[in-house]
Amino acid sequence: MSDPRQLGLTLDHRPSLTGHDFLVSEGNREAVLWLDRWPDWPASALVVHGPPGCGKSHLVAVFLARSGGRAMTVDELAEAAIHEVVEAASAVAVDDADGVAGADREAALMHLYNACAERGRRLLLTGRDRPGRWGIRLPDLESRLNAAMAAAIGPPDDVLIRAVMVKLFADRQLAVDADVVEYAAARMERSFDTARRLVAAVDDEALRRQGRITVPLVRDVLAGLEAN
């Protein structure tokens, strides 16, 4: 089975509630360092933003594992008893918070932000872009979000995507040579979602063929994924 060390992969990692480690690289290091500092943040809220598939949701799970906090969705905001949530939680995280635009949701997020600040709780928000691009129409909320700490996550770099693939194969107890990982990483879209789909498809195809995972097999799977 491929070993990350064979590929020169010595990435740091953080455990998450999902049972899977979050691998740390240059593209996500700033966000991870802020989460490592919890609850010693200079502001009540941290906004982590980056493109789809860069690991934001996974990072939320890391934060919840570290803080013992409460996860909320945008849809839950307008329905929840915010003060009770904040009173009972050590921290709160709202994934995909950039979908908050709308009167009821914006008012609820404003309420959550203020309640966290009043009680000394920390609030983690994620989105694809900085809050200034979320289409917020409530001026006070827009002002608070724009003043919050922000950390960008970039798409996974070559080192990180190879490490993720090694881990995904290992999680399935699949024996994969380093040249297979190198071949796939050089030709696939650089996102965690693509890595997961590719590894699952390779596993299925290897099972169908009743053979080892090789570069030709991965080449065929990649071609199939591109065709779809």
**Among 125, 152, 179, which residue terminates a domain?**
152
Residue 214's pLDDT is 96
142 and 32 housed in the same domain: yes
Residue 92 belongs to a domain with what CATH number?
A: 3.40.50.300
Q: Which residue range(s) make up the domain with 218?
A: 156-227
Does residue 49 lie in a domain region? Answer: yes
* Helix runs in the chain, H state only: 29-36, 56-67, 74-77, 82-88, 103-119, 139-147, 158-171, 178-187, 192-209, 215-227
Confidence category of residue 74, pLDDT binned at 50, 70, 90: very high
Are 74 and 181 within one domain? no
pLDDT more than 90, % of the chain: 62
Note whether 165 and 144 are same-domain residues. Answer: no
Q: What is the DSSP string of 171-221?
A: HTT----HHHHHHHHHHS-SSHHHHHHHHHHHHHHHHHHTS---HHHHHHH
Work out how many domains the chain is built from and give that number.
2
Say whether both 64 and 163 belong to one domain: no
Q: Does residue 94 carry a pLDDT above 70?
A: yes
Sign, CA dihedral 169-197-151-90, equals negative
Residues 166 and 117 in one domain: no
- DSSP letter for 98, please: G
Q: In terms of domains, do 94 and 40 share one?
A: yes
135-194 pLDDT, tens digit per residue, is 999 999 999 999 999 999 988 888 888 988 988 898 888 889 999 999 999 999 888 888
Q: What's the rounded Cα separation, in Å, for the pair 71 and 61?
A: 9
The answer to whether the CB of 194 falls within 8 A of the CB of 228 is no
Q: Distance (Å, rounded) from C-alpha 81 to C-alpha 175? A: 49
The overall pTM is greater than 0.75 = yes
Residue 10 has pLDDT above 50, yes or no: no
Q: Which of 93, 123, 152 is the last residue of a domain?
A: 152
Res. 93 pLDDT band, cuts 50 70 90: very high
Q: Is 6 a residue whose pLDDT tops 80? A: no
* Euclidean distance between CA atoms 127 and 51, whole angstroms: 8
Centroid of chain to Cα 145: 20
pLDDT of residue 156: 82
- Give residue 193's pLDDT: 84
pLDDT over threshold 50, residue 78: yes
pLDDT of residue 42: 93
Does the structure show a pLDDT above 50 at 39?
A: yes
Q: How confident is the model at residue 3 (pLDDT cuts 50, 70, 90)?
A: very low
